[in-house]
Amino acid sequence: MARRSTETRIFFPWEHRGGLLRRLGLNRLPSFMLFASLGLFTVLVGVRERRQAGERRTRAVIEQYRRAIDGYLAAHEGNCPRSLALLKDATAAETVPKDAWGHPLRFVCPFTADDQIYLLSSDGADGTPGGLDRIE
């Protein structure tokens, strides 16, 4: 009867060639996939945060002009300003108001829907009038 060897052999990385995955360089695939998914996640979070920051900035500009319009309406017996350019002094703005994406704000006065006197809105990031990403 033959005796079985009880020795176990330990291989160092440089002592054997490895399998097919190692030869093709795919033994590091899981770590590559981890870093790739982490990079994709970082990019998506950055895009989302940039969009939300644009929305916050646009809402702040709309609120600033909304206060100026309400003040104008109170001072002029409910008559609407002809344009937002008339409100530059009240808002301390240098130019006509624009949203975070560089599109001018939409101002409609008089506005008859929903018992509103006027409508002040932004077309949103895509710039499409009345689009789904508009901000009012």
26-75 residue pLDDT tens? 666 677 777 888 899 999 998 888 888 888 888 888 888 888 888 888 88
Q: Is the pTM of this model over 0.75?
A: no
pLDDT of 13 over the 70 cut: no
Pairing of strands 119-121, 106-108: antiparallel
Alpha-carbon gap, residue 45 to 32, rounded angstroms:
20
- The distance from CA 121 to its chain's CA centroid, rounded to whole angstroms, is 18
- Residue-level pLDDT at 42: 92
How close are the terminal C-alpha atoms of the chain, in Å?
Answer: 90
pLDDT of 95 over the 80 cut: no
- Residue-level pLDDT at 131: 72
